[in-house]
Amino acid sequence: MDRYESYYRSVVHAVKAINSTLEPAEVIAAIVKETVISMGVKGSTLRLLDRSGKYLKASASYGLSRDYLRKGPVEVEKSGVDRLALQGEVVEIEDVCCDDRFQYPDAAREEGIVSMLVAPLRTDQRIIGIMRVYTGEKHSFEDAEKEFLNAISDISALAIENARLHQALKTDYEMLSAFETRIFED
């Protein structure tokens, strides 16, 4: 199977995962895993901005150790690569241990991470987080790899926003039902 066929199949799997459930954790976990397999990389993470917009919180990962994921908070102010991605750029770092835009070079070295590609999670109105892929060897990402990660990130953002809207509607419906029950039973 060539790279483009692998990417196509991954997009199909991602769309199936999105349509199979409205549980965001399940959807993004499936997407992150599929991305690692199709790109042949060491691991991947998907991080969402917290309410303050200062931190990126891990929401899903695949292929990385718990120790690495617990290395510390990803602060937007201290992570130049994430600041660029949050402005809408796909950003590549060939050697995370030698690039001052990366916040945790020592933790990456211990994890065996060398190169990284980051894409924004973009909805129609805003950027809600980032998706990263990591390699264990020095790697220069080709345009096809950047385009694929950007497409998967856009699909992930859509799935997350759909799940959030579904959850908000469900909450509104439950509140309305509880209100009507109180009104009509009193």
pLDDT digits (tens, 9 = 90+) for 34-86: 899 889 999 999 999 999 999 999 999 999 999 999 998 899 999 999 999 99
Closest by CA to 81, choosing from 31, 45, 38, is 45
Alpha-carbon Rg for the chain in angstroms: 18
Instruction: Note the pLDDT of residue 48.
Output: 94
158 touches 123 (CB < 8 A): yes
Contacts of 13 (CB under 8 A, 6+ apart): 30, 34
pLDDT mean for each 10 residues of the chain (186 residues): 78 74 80 89 96 94 94 92 95 94 93 97 91 97 94 89 82 81 71
- Supply 153's token pair: 């990130």
Gap between the Cα atoms of 131 and 24, Å rounded: 15
Instruction: Note the pLDDT of residue 186.
Output: 64
Instruction: Note the pLDDT of residue 1.
Output: 67
Tell me the pTM: 0.84
Closest by CA to 69, choosing from 39, 27, 35, 113, is 113
* Domain coordinates in residue numbering, the chain: 3-184
Q: Which CATH number fits domain 3-184: 3.20.20.60, 3.40.50.970, 3.30.450.40, 1.25.40.10?
A: 3.30.450.40
- Supply 135's token pair: 């390699």
